[in-house]
Amino acid sequence: MNDYKNHAIVLKQRPQGEIQDGDLIMEERPVRPPNEGEVVAQVLWLSLDPYMRPRMNDAKGYMDPIAIDEAIVGESVARIVESRSDTLKVGDLVTCYSGWQEYVTFPADAPMVYKINQKDNVPLQTYLGVAGMPGRTGYCGLMYVGKPKAGETVVVSAASGPVGTVVGQTAKKEGCRVVGVAGGPDKCGFVVEELGFDACVDYKAGNLEEDLKAACPDGIDIYFENVGGAVTRAVAPLLNPGARVPICGYVSAYNASDMASVETPFHVLKALDPVPEHRFFLVTEWQDKHQEITGILAGRIANGELKYRETIAEGLDNAVDTFKGMLKGQNFGKQLVRVAD
């Protein structure tokens, strides 16, 4: 019997609109001893991502909803602390879908468990950010759905976040003109001055349509969709013939009390004539390229080519409030929770 003291944040009731007190609760949970071929891992870093919010609803989407009394889903960087496996040993570092908890037991060969081959000058937590799932999402969505060509104009919403950060810098590397959309002068300044975008439109400034049109004098060839809502409506009339729209998500609607009544990017795009090429995608479509693309992105971090920003919350007990703030755009860059050292 192990003596790990584990805490988990679990779904006690489904949020109606914004998350309220009592929806997500921290509980002490036992840690199951490992069976043959299994390991116990201690969570060091937890990733907070917008996709977690729709999965709290009782609605079938592209992934199953979280069950009541289950830990909130989430990817983490974790250290193996107990092993009955030949493939993972004590001390190994992995990314895994532990959920919001301090310890987790799982088969060493479980899907979506990857040993981290950490490069010099690449901080461990970036394997949850620009070198991790969000970074791979941005890279794959741009390169395999957007298919950028030199000289094209690429617009990406949520430009200062980990997905947008990778989309924009990758598009620049492909020879594109890159325009970000972000909230507030600090984020827009970072996107242009640090990340190297050609322009960034502040959607909070009150002139979204005019500012976006001025930033895209030759129209838009690729729009990487992260937020939906007013940004999508501003982009739509500027899309050029042959434009492509990779749809990663639409976070502006994730706190809606009735998702069925939300105007999605699909509604906006399908109303256009001609209808631009567009589709929703999941990074798991390219799961066979996981290690290859992680290596590409980590290499760009290591040589200083890929810039990024992080917001770090301390301790699992701060995860709920931090997550609520992230959905309102209060974070800057990738939102992480440091759970243990």
pLDDT at site 135: 96
pLDDT at site 172: 98
Residue 229's pLDDT band (boundaries 50, 70, 90)? very high
Residue 34's pLDDT band (boundaries 50, 70, 90)? very high
The predicted model gives 307-324 an average pLDDT of 97
Lowest mean pLDDT among 33-42, 65-74, 125-134, 246-255: 246-255
Assess if residue 195 is contained within a domain: yes
Assess if residue 53 is contained within a domain: yes
Residue 262's pLDDT band (boundaries 50, 70, 90)? confident
Assess if residue 290 is contained within a domain: no
Residue type at 298 in one-letter notation? A
Say yes or no: 102 and 193 in one domain. Answer: no
Say yes or no: 109 and 196 in one domain. Answer: no
The predicted model gives 101-108 an average pLDDT of 97
- Number of domains forming the structure of the chain: 2
Assess if residue 297 is contained within a domain: no
The predicted model gives 18-26 an average pLDDT of 96
As a residue count, the chain comes to 341
Say yes or no: 167 and 41 in one domain. Answer: no
Residue 69's pLDDT band (boundaries 50, 70, 90)? very high
Assess if residue 299 is contained within a domain: no
Task: Check pLDDT > 90 for residue 252.
Answer: no
pLDDT in tens, 191-223: 999 999 999 999 999 999 999 999 999 999 999
CATH code of the domain containing 318:
3.90.180.10
What Rg do the C-alpha atoms of the chain give, in angstroms? 20
Say yes or no: 107 and 157 in one domain. Answer: no
Q: Is the dihedral of CA 71, 77, 82, 88 positive or negative?
A: positive
pLDDT at site 244: 98
pLDDT at site 130: 96
Give CA–CA dist 216/262, Å, rounded: 28
Residue 119 is part of which domain span?
Answer: 6-129+309-338
Residue 257's pLDDT band (boundaries 50, 70, 90)? low
Residue 58's pLDDT band (boundaries 50, 70, 90)? confident
pLDDT at site 335: 96
Q: How far is CA 323 from CA 100, 222, 257, 326, in A?
A: 11, 29, 17, 5
- Cα torsion through 266, 155, 164, 245, rounded to 10: 30
φ, ψ for residue 73, nearest 5 deg: -65, 150
Say yes or no: 144 and 217 in one domain. Answer: yes
- Note the pTM of the prediction, 2 decimals: 0.89
Assess if residue 204 is contained within a domain: yes
The predicted model gives 137-144 an average pLDDT of 98
Say yes or no: 14 and 109 in one domain. Answer: yes
Say yes or no: 143 and 43 in one domain. Answer: no
DSSP class of 64: P
pLDDT at site 64: 85
The predicted model gives 264-278 an average pLDDT of 93
CATH code of the domain containing 183:
3.40.50.720
Q: Please, what's the b/e burial string for 258-295 (b: 16 or more CB within 10 A of its CB; e: otherwise)?
A: eeeeeebbbebbeeeeeebbbebbebbebeebbeebbe
- In the chain, what percentage of residues exceed pLDDT 70? 96
Task: Check pLDDT > 90 for residue 249.
Answer: no
The predicted model gives 104-130 an average pLDDT of 95
pLDDT at site 59: 79
Higher-scoring residue by pLDDT: 180, 253: 180
Say yes or no: 140 and 259 in one domain. Answer: yes
pLDDT at site 151: 98
Assess if residue 296 is contained within a domain: no
Residue 332's pLDDT band (boundaries 50, 70, 90)? very high
Say yes or no: 51 and 151 in one domain. Answer: no
Say yes or no: 124 and 109 in one domain. Answer: yes
Task: Check pLDDT > 60 for residue 68.
Answer: yes
- In the chain, what percentage of residues exceed pLDDT 90? 87
Say yes or no: 213 and 112 in one domain. Answer: no
Say yes or no: 216 and 313 in one domain. Answer: no
Residue 50's pLDDT band (boundaries 50, 70, 90)? confident
Assess if residue 289 is contained within a domain: no
The predicted model gives 19-23 an average pLDDT of 95
pLDDT at site 1: 52
Give CA–CA dist 313/321, Å, rounded: 10
pLDDT at site 264: 87
pLDDT mean across residues, the chain:
94
pLDDT at site 263: 83
